[in-house]
Structure 1
Amino acid sequence: MSSDSSSPEADEKRPRGKVAALIGAAREQFEELVGIPVEGVSGVEKAEDGWTVTLEAVELLRVPDTVSLLATYTVDLDSEGDLAGYRRVRRYTRGRADAL
C-alpha cells in the first residue's frame, strides 16, 4: 500500500516551519487577547528582536458581507514567539479597495 503525502494525516505529521509556527502563534494570541477573529495574514517580517506579523481581522460582521468592517493590525512577537504588542493601522469595509 502506498502512502499519500497529501492526506490530512500526513499534513498533521509534517513539521511546521518556524515562520508558519510564528504566524499561528500571532493569530492565536491576538484572537485570545483582543477577542475578534483573524481572517487572514497579509505580511510577516523579521524585526530586530523578534517578528512583526500583519493580520486582517473582522471587527464587525454585517449583512451583506461586503459591508463588514475589517481592520489591519500589526502584531509584534518577541524572539520566543510571544505577543509583545499590537496596533490597528487601518479600518475598511470588505467591499472597498485601496486607491492605487
Structure 2
Amino acid sequence: MRPGDAARGAAEVLQSLISHRVEGVSAVRRTEDGWCVEAEVLELARVPDTTSLLATYEVKLDEQGELLEYLRTRRYRRGAADE
C-alpha cells in the first residue's frame, strides 16, 4: 500500500463511521503496524464559514488498509490559527 492509498482509504472509512464530511488529509505516516493518517473533518457547518467547527482525527490502518482504530485529537473553529 502506498501513502496515497492509505490516505484515501482512511478518509473513506472515517467518513462512513462518523457521518461527517472529510475535508482533507493533513498527514500520512508509516508505522510499525501499517499507517497513521490525520484527517480534517467538518463537524458543524455555520454561517459565516469561518465559524464552522472542524476536527482532526487520527486514523490507524494495518498493512492491508483495514481500520485498527480512530480518535478525534483536536476540535477547532475554521478561522482559528494554530497556536
Shorter-chain TM band: over 0.9
Structure 2 unaligned runs (5+)?
none
Structure number with higher relative contact order (C-alpha < 8 Å, ≥ 6 residues apart):
2
Structure 1 runs, 4 residues or longer, greater than 3 Å off: none
TM-score (norm 2): 0.95
Structure 1 equivalent of residue 47 of structure 2: 63
Larger Rg: 1
Alignment of 1:1-100 (within 5 A): 18-99=2-83
The percentage of aligned residue pairs carrying the same residue is 51
Shift of 1:64: 0.6
Q: Which has the higher strand share?
A: 2
Structure 1 unaligned runs (5+)?
1-16
Count the aligned residue pairs: 83
TM-score (norm 1): 0.80
